[in-house]
């Protein structure tokens, strides 16, 4: 039984490229953690932001931090980018793959819940607080995190049972497709389940977004107050931007996984971009587009922080 795999990095690249990728990945990690922690702290400290929408934003930020942290299975995995080959144990590889897919699935489900939140807030504002109570909000979050856990646990469980004949993983981190592709038996069941889960979530989230934003648009068109219209559209901008950005990243990820014959350096570069860009931009999008958060950040006195 093979107990160790080799993560093949950018073996054909020069040292200059290694340095650039290492610096970019490390910077992205620091920005993700700092940006998301600042966003969560601002929401927690400002009572005006203690609402279902911002509670869901906190969930998305925590998912971002979880994701970038679990893509580093060793304490110095970033430094390992300098090595042409990196070894990783089977257990750690499966754990890393689980965390990566868990993040993606949970984020997608959280974005669906956020769309429902915006729909209720704009189309049925008088009943907003009675519909999205604390209990209802916790149930929706449990649906997102629990549903993601079950779907990904089944997927990785199917993969972990397979006998393995190969040891080389073509990208710089472990995921489900790279693991089951090393098997020496038929993996049709794994392939079907992975594709079905991916397409189901993408189609379900797309239809949910179309339905909720269709309802929101209809409500805005029927409102006579232009200020209410602008406010409703503005509150949806951040969520819609993050959702579209996330789905584009998912599309690139699927394309990269389904075309293993593509250039190795390009595939690995895309893999690292997919791994680092969304968590960096999510807090920026919500911070810039949300007036309350933006004002609070710019009101921070640097001298008080230094004291």
Phi/psi for 132 (5° steps) reads -95, 70
Among residues of the chain, what percentage have pLDDT more than 90? Answer: 20
Stretch (H or E) spanning 95: helix 90-123
**Under CATH, domain 4-306 is a member of which superfamily?**
Rhodopsin 7-helix transmembrane proteins (1.20.1070.10)
Task: Indicate if the pLDDT at residue 283 is higher than 70.
Answer: yes
The pLDDT-based confidence of 75 (bands split at 50, 70, 90) is very low
Average pLDDT over residues 19-23: 72
Task: List the domain boundaries for the chain.
Answer: 4-306
CA distance 111 to 243: 7
CA distance 31 to 276: 10
pLDDT value for 148: 95
Out of 82-96, 98-112, 145-159, which region has the weakest mean confidence (pLDDT)?
82-96
CB-based contact 124:66 (threshold 8 Å): no
CB-based contact 265:12 (threshold 8 Å): yes
- Cβ neighbors of 209 (< 8 A, separation 6 or more) are 112, 115, 240, 243
pLDDT value for 248: 84
pLDDT digits (tens, 9 = 90+) for 230-253: 777 777 888 888 888 888 887 877
CA distance 116 to 118: 5
pLDDT value for 301: 46
Tokens 């868990």 -> residue: 102
pLDDT value for 115: 92
User: Which pair of tokens denotes residue 180?
Assistant: 């089951």
CA distance 170 to 32: 26
Phi/psi for 85 (5° steps) reads -135, 140
CA distance 1 to 162: 11
Neighbours of 279 (CB within 10 A): 27
User: Which pair of tokens denotes residue 270?
Assistant: 């895309």
Task: Indicate if the pLDDT at residue 177 is higher than 70.
Answer: yes
pLDDT value for 71: 73
pLDDT value for 149: 96
Q: Which of 23, 21, 59, 14 is nearest to 40 (CA)?
A: 59
Q: Which of 284, 295, 296 is nearest to 57 (CA)?
A: 284
pLDDT value for 136: 93
């Amino acid at each position: 039984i093979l107990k160790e795999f080799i993560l093949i990095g950018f073996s054909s690249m020069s040292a200059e490229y290694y340095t650039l990728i290492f610096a970019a990945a490390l910077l992205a990690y620091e920005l993700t953690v700092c940006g998301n922690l600042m966003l969560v702290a601002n929401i927690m400290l400002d009572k005006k932001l203690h609402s279902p929408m911002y509670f869901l934003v906190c969930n998305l930020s925590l998912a971002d931090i979880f994701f970038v942290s679990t893509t580093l299975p060793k304490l110095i995995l970033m430094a390992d980018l300098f090595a042409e080959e990196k070894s990783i144990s089977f257990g750690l590889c499966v754990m890393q793959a689980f965390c990566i897919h868990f993040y993606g699935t949970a984020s997608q489900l959280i974005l669906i819940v956020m769309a429902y939140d915006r729909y209720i807030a704009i189309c049925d504002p008088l009943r907003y607080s009675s519909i999205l109570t604390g209990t209802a909000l916790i149930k929706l979050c449990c649906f997102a995190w629990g549903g993601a856990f079950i779907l990904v646990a089944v997927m990785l469980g199917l993969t972990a049972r397979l006998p393995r004949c190969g040891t080389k993983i073509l990208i710089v981190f472990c995921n489900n497709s790279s693991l089951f592709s090393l098997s020496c038996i038929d993996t049709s069941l794994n392939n079907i389940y992975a594709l079905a889960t991916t397409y189901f979530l993408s189609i379900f989230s797309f239809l949910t977004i179309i339905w909720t934003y269709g309802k929101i648009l209809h409500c805005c068109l029927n409102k006579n107050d232009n200020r209410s219209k602008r406010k409703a559209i503005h509150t949806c901008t951040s969520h819609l931007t993050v959702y579209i950005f996330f789905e584009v990243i998912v599309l690139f990820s699927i394309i990269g996984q389904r075309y293993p014959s593509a250039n190795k350096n390009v595939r690995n570069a895309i893999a690292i971009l997919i791994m680092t860009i969304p968590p960096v931009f999510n807090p920026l999008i919500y911070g810039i587009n949300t007036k309350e958060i933006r004002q609070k950040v710019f009101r921070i006195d640097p001298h008080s922080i230094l004291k």
